Amino acid sequence: MKTKELIKEIQKLPVKERFYIFERSMYIIRKHEDDFLMKKAADLLYDDYVNDDELTAFTSLDIENFYETR
């Protein structure tokens, strides 16, 4: 379905349903953008996380057992 056809079909819907379509569309667009930006940020910092000893210093503790105190 082309954009113009889709808009014509949406215009036939009651206002409540049009708002629902708008809200869901905005949610999907925002989520997609957030996911894209998070992946981009992770990709940019990947080499730092792998190679920078200051960022990975605490990973040496990963093999130790963790005991919670109460």
What local confidence, expressed as pLDDT, does residue 58 receive?
75
15 pLDDT band, cuts 50/70/90, is very high
Residue 56 has pLDDT above 80, yes or no: no
Mean pLDDT within 3-19: 96
Assign 3-class secondary structure to the chain: CCHHHHHHHHHCCCHHHHHHHHHHHHHHHHHHHHHHHHHHHHHHHHHHHHHCHHHHHHHHHHHCCCCCCC
- As a whole-number percent, the residues of the chain with pLDDT over 90 amount to 63
User: pTM for the whole thing?
Assistant: 0.58
